[in-house]
Amino acid sequence: MLRVSRVLEGSLAHKCGIVKGDIILSINGNKINDLLDYMYYSKDESLVIEYIRDGNIQKIGLINRKLKPLGIEFEYENVKRCTNKCIFCFIDQLPKGMRDTLYIKDDDTVLSVLSGNYITLTNLTTEDFERIVKFHLSPLKISVHTTDPQLRKFILKNPKASLILKQLEYLSSYNIEFDVQIVLMKNINDKDNLDRTISSLANFYPNLRSIAVVPVGLTKYREGLFELEPFSKEDAKEVLLQISKWQKEFERRFGTKLVFASDEFYVKAEEKIPDYRFYEEFRQIENGVGLLALFKKQFLNSLKKLKPNVKLKKSITLVTSVAAYKFMRKLIEIFNQKYPNVKVDIFAVVNNFFGENITVAGLLTGQDIISQLRNRELGDYVLIPACALNHENKFLDDVHIDDVAKEIKKPVYPVQNHGRKLLYYLLKGGEKN
């Protein structure tokens, strides 16, 4: 059974009378146990939906000739929990006292399909794999880290982790596609082991769509945890060189680079971010692979369409992360060629909350922004990366964006990860609609 949490206005479900609180029992006689059942059985053109409202069982029929989404959202309560104890787990590195939801470790196939969450496959039963095939849940996002059975078992601290190659073989045999990630750890799964992992994963092409290699995130809260080292500039250069060799090999064999390093490695190595065309279809952009290249393309394309304006005068503080500071500075230099009197102070907030090894924008906290901006000249308004906020406009430390504005005494606007959005707020931010 699934309880309806929201019905989109104007949708088929809305027109047919489905409302928030209804409990979906079956579709076309097929029992609905979870979201997978709903996703599979709601695809037919003719549907009979059985549901409970106010304790009474009711039925409704509808015709969906264009096979559009029905417009129903559900309370998703039965999230599969992670059964691993990974040596690099970021949640284990969180300080105490944060909101409860931040400590939830999910490893859920439904969330992999719907939201792009990465799963390890270690908590799936034979029936779960059969349902993936039956419902053709594809593409999946899978955390591999290594294909060495014993090493993966050690990294994930789970005996079932050693089955990864057999699991991928099973999925591939039924044409289930997947994108995989490798969280790279110095002297653990890098160097020769990374080569072996990439080589063995390539055997699943074309069902394997892409490989992302990302550096492990290490906060200052690692007391009692497995000792891991951050990557140095030289380490990052070696990783990029190693991946580059594989990209050339795969372009020759498959016509695609297949494996990509995250933007963090380029920043750490102080190497130029590749052109946006380098990243092909941006299959793992939410993993920080090609994010900066696409952002730059969006920003410059939008800027080219605008006329220079020397009359526009304003002063703005643009908050960014340490990792993105040089990148953002170069974009603003180009921006100022057309808008020389728009003063943009780019401020890189140091992550004191999680520790200086954490340099990405998505993990900035409200208290760090407040403490580091409070006594500065901030201009007319402040722009912050929206990726650091949740749906309630709260940072990871539960500070609300309105609290930041109140403390620094300036209007604060969140800017999404899109170059055109940044350009809009540089030019239009602070204006009344």
Tens digits of residue pLDDT in 304-319 = 999 999 999 999 999 9
What is the predicted pLDDT for the residue at 77? 62
Half-sphere exposure of 12 toward its Cβ, with a 13 Å CA cutoff?
Answer: 19
What is the predicted pLDDT for the residue at 433? 44
- Residue 337: CB atoms within 10 A of its CB come to 9
Q: What does the pLDDT average to over 286-310?
A: 96
What is the predicted pLDDT for the residue at 105? 85
What is the predicted pLDDT for the residue at 76? 67
Contact 120, 142 (CB under 8 A): yes
CA distance 330 to 89: 34
Pairing of strands 23-27, 46-53: antiparallel
What is the predicted pLDDT for the residue at 265? 98
Read off the pLDDT band of 78 (50, 70, 90): low
Q: Give the C-alpha distances (Å, rounded to integers) separating 403 from 100, 367, 397, 429.
A: 21, 9, 12, 19
Q: What does the pLDDT average to over 142-149?
A: 98
CA distance 48 to 41: 10
Looking at every residue in the chain, the average pLDDT score rounds to 93
- Residue 409: CB atoms within 10 A of its CB come to 9
Read off the pLDDT band of 87 (50, 70, 90): very high
pTM of the shown model: 0.88
Read off the pLDDT band of 111 (50, 70, 90): confident
All residues at 6 or more sequence positions from 125 whose CB lies less than 8 Å from its CB, including other chains: none
Quick one: tokens of 29?
A: 């006689």
What is the predicted pLDDT for the residue at 28? 95
pLDDT in tens, 326-348: 999 999 999 999 999 999 999 99
Q: What does the pLDDT average to over 237-257?
A: 98
The identity of residue 254, as a single letter, is: F
CA distance 63 to 57: 21
Percent of the chain with pLDDT over 70: 98
CA distance 282 to 343: 33
Rounded to 5 degrees, φ, ψ at 297 are: -60, -45
Q: Which domains does the chain carry?
A: 2-74 (2.30.42.10), 91-289 (3.80.30.10), 296-428 (3.40.50)
Q: Give the C-alpha distances (Å, rounded to integers) separating 352 from 193, 210, 348, 417, 431.
A: 33, 34, 12, 23, 33
Q: Say whether pLDDT at 383 is over 50.
A: yes
What is the predicted pLDDT for the residue at 99? 75
Q: Lowest-confidence range among 270-274, 338-342, 425-429?
A: 425-429
Q: What does the pLDDT average to over 370-391?
A: 94
What is the predicted pLDDT for the residue at 432? 56
Q: What does the pLDDT average to over 9-24?
A: 92
